[in-house]
Amino acid sequence: MIKILKIDRANRIAVIEISRDELERLVDSVNIMADKQQRDLLENPPSNEYGRRKLDNSKALKEDLRKVLDSLF
């Protein structure tokens, strides 16, 4: 569960505080989502720009979350 949520509407930023276990589950979920998107693009050519951009964004999020998680150990 989210422990703290701070929203800065002017700058369009949300800060959340979650436990390490919850972050691990979130990273796992993003990994699964990115893998599924990649499989879908490979199995259903030709891929469109939206699909490739969505996959790139998912992979970037996965890496960012992994870095945060790694910094906790």
Q: Span 47-61, mean pLDDT?
A: 89
Q: How many CB atoms lie within 10 A of CB 27?
A: 19
DSSP 44: S
Quick check: 66 and 58 in contact, CB under 8 A? no
For the entire predicted model, the pTM comes to: 0.77
Q: Look-up: residue for tokens 């998680």?
A: 69
Q: Answer yes or no: is pLDDT of 73 > 90.
A: no
* Burial class for 4, CB neighbours closer than 10 Å (0-12, 13-18, 19+): exposed
pLDDT digits (tens, 9 = 90+) for 1-43: 788 999 999 999 999 999 999 999 999 999 999 999 999 888 8
Task: Quote the pLDDT of residue 72.
Answer: 87
**Cis omega (within 30 of 0) for bond into 46:** yes
